[in-house]
Structure 1
Amino acid sequence: MSNSDLNKTLEVNKKQAVFYNTKKKNLPTKIWSNIREKTLKGIRRELNILQGSYNLHKSWFGDLKDKKVLDLGCFSGNYHSLFLAENSKQYIGLDLSESGINRLNKKLEHLPNAKAVVKDFLSEDFKEKDFDIIYAYGVLHHFENVDLLISKLNEKLAPKGRIISYDPLETSRPIWLIRKLYRPFQSDAAWEWPFNRKTLKKLDSNFNILEKRGVLGHAKWYFIVNLLPLPKKTKVNIGKKWHKKDWEKSNASMSHLYKCMQLTMHMQKK
């Protein structure tokens, strides 16, 4: 990978750091964030998708007592940050946001094996390596240059090290269209690159995909069911049935995975 590719990404990440420190969003980005947080996150909670994903990640972590863990793009701490810090041999939280890392470090003060640092994952300033687990919740899609990302992940992982990720997809045609219409007005467009089919193929070629689960495939249409004059229990049962189908079929079928809006993966260094 050329130095120009790296330098370009580092410059984008500087802008990203400012964005997440200030949280200044234009109106279209605020509207999209509101839809994502209140509608999609609401659906994930109602259908137990959110907690189900967290539970799956915890099972993928396994026994952490001898593991060195990188919590990549953790901001002030995600759902599993404290669990990882309290149970691993060594924990490092990494983010571009100084305000987020300052808040996380306060939560880690009682843990001698844990720290959080403000550095760019791609920068030479971040010298830590040999991670047994890299936890990247909502992070990997922030890298436009997938080849650069893959190279750095492999550089930082220990032999047989694993990546546990959760990211948005744009492989579903309706979602692809919505994102394309929204993108010209998006405040954070420079570092928002939901996975497409090409990205998924590159990840599959460079890592052993131990397990993958797509969500909000059929279940993304649950918001329409919510508008129907049906008992709430009936609506939820329909949504959970659709989610179960997405969850089970996406691990074996790429065609079904492509219908989903989000993806969680358990990958291992080859």
Structure 2
Amino acid sequence: MKTTESILETNIKQAEFYNTKKKNFATRIWSKFRNGILNKIKKAVGVQDQAYLKHKEWFGDLSTKKVLDLGCFSGNYWSMYLAEHSKEYLGIDLSDVAIHKLNERLAIFPNAKAKAVDFLSAEFADNDYDLIYAYGVLHHFENTKILIDKLNEKLVPNGQIISYDPLETSFPIKIIRTLYRPFQSDAAWEWPFTKKTFYQFQSAFSIIERRGLLGKSKWMAFISMVPISDEKKNKIGRKWHKEDWEYSKTSDSVLFSCMHLTMLMEKKK
């Protein structure tokens, strides 16, 4: 398991990767699948929009909150909303190129700024955050204990985290990722959640709410090839997504059949 120092060294390479976005052939193929077929399924069954709306619900009243937008790149779906409505907003990312773009966008908000800094580094000394928004970020840390300790350090008592990350807990996805990993250009910082990872977070924080996505509904990738109408395909997909969304709140077996996980967590007293 990596130490903080070795993770910091890896993150220098990660910053270079996201500044240049140089992907090898295998990573380009995976990105095409993720941003093509998978995104088409998400839109058809309402997966992505529902997750975003759930995050907005979880934000609550931001007017008194100091918010950290962790690993935000040049701004995620909610970055500008968080900046506009929070008492104080800071977006951080490893990519100085992306942060420069975000600072240009944030210039209209006197309470908001962005900084190119490593979350684990001594350079990032700011604390007392009421909310940490981590969209597609927490799985970039190989050592979950180091990450959890740092998250707790940065939060106020009862501070909250909203996360969204890929899961590697369903058998077919685990097989695909295992086959892909030796050829993956960003493998050194891509660590989709395992069952162990989830239980580490469950032990460290109070999980107020959780939702799994793309469980049954991931099979829409195959249903899309069946010669039936788009209306019927989407009806099947929406039904499956609803089951994933609702049952994953309480059922670990349903949750672990999913490809993605989003959580609202709270720092324990």
- Same-fold status (TM-score > 0.5): yes
- Other-structure match for 2:44: 46
- Other-structure match for 1:98: 96
- Other-structure match for 1:36: 34
**Residue deviations 1:30-70, cap 9 Å, x none?**
11011101111111111111111000000000000000000
Report the secondary structure of 2:6's partner residue.
helix
> Which of 150, 153, 162 lines up with 2:151 in the alignment?
153
Q: Which runs of 4+ in 1 moved over 2 A?
A: none
1:125 has 2:144 as partner: no
Q: Cα offset for 1:226?
A: 1.2
- Other-structure match for 1:107: 105
In structure 2, how many angstroms separate the alpha carbons of the residues matched to 1:58 and 1:81? Answer: 11
- Other-structure match for 1:189: 187
Q: Cα offset for 1:256?
A: 0.8
In structure 2, how many angstroms separate the alpha carbons of the residues matched to 1:87 and 1:65? Answer: 6
Where do 5+ consecutive residues of structure 2 fail to align? none
> Which of 207, 221, 224 lines up with 2:205 in the alignment?
207
Q: Which amino acid aligns with 1:201?
A: Y
In structure 2, how many angstroms separate the alpha carbons of the residues matched to 1:139 and 1:256? Answer: 23
Q: Which amino acid aligns with 1:84?
A: L
In structure 1, how many angstroms separate the alpha carbons of the residues matched to 2:226 and 2:25? Answer: 30
TM-score normalised to structure 2 length: 0.98
TM-score normalised to structure 1 length: 0.98
Equivalent positions of 1:3-82 (< 5 A) are: 5-82=3-80
In structure 1, how many angstroms separate the alpha carbons of the residues matched to 2:259 and 2:110? Answer: 39
In structure 1, how many angstroms separate the alpha carbons of the residues matched to 2:12 and 2:57? Answer: 34
1:87 has 2:85 as partner: yes
Q: Cα offset for 1:203?
A: 0.3
In structure 2, how many angstroms separate the alpha carbons of the residues matched to 1:229 and 1:40? Answer: 19
In structure 2, how many angstroms separate the alpha carbons of the residues matched to 1:125 and 1:230? Answer: 56
Q: Which amino acid aligns with 2:66?
A: K
Identity %: 58
In structure 1, how many angstroms separate the alpha carbons of the residues matched to 2:18 and 2:227? Answer: 41
**Residue deviations 1:218-245, cap 9 Å, x none?**
0000121111111111110100000000
In structure 1, how many angstroms separate the alpha carbons of the residues matched to 2:229 and 2:186? Answer: 39
1:141 has 2:139 as partner: yes
**Residue deviations 1:58-92, cap 9 Å, x none?**
00000000000000000000000000000000000
- Other-structure match for 1:239: 237
Q: Which amino acid aligns with 2:3?
A: D
> Which of 221, 224, 230 lines up with 1:223 in the alignment?
221
Cα RMSD for the two superposed structures? 0.9
Report the secondary structure of 1:240's partner residue.
helix
**Structure 1 residues 161-170 or 221-230, which shifts more?**
221-230
> Which of 163, 173, 194 lines up with 2:171 in the alignment?
173
Where do 5+ consecutive residues of structure 1 fail to align? none
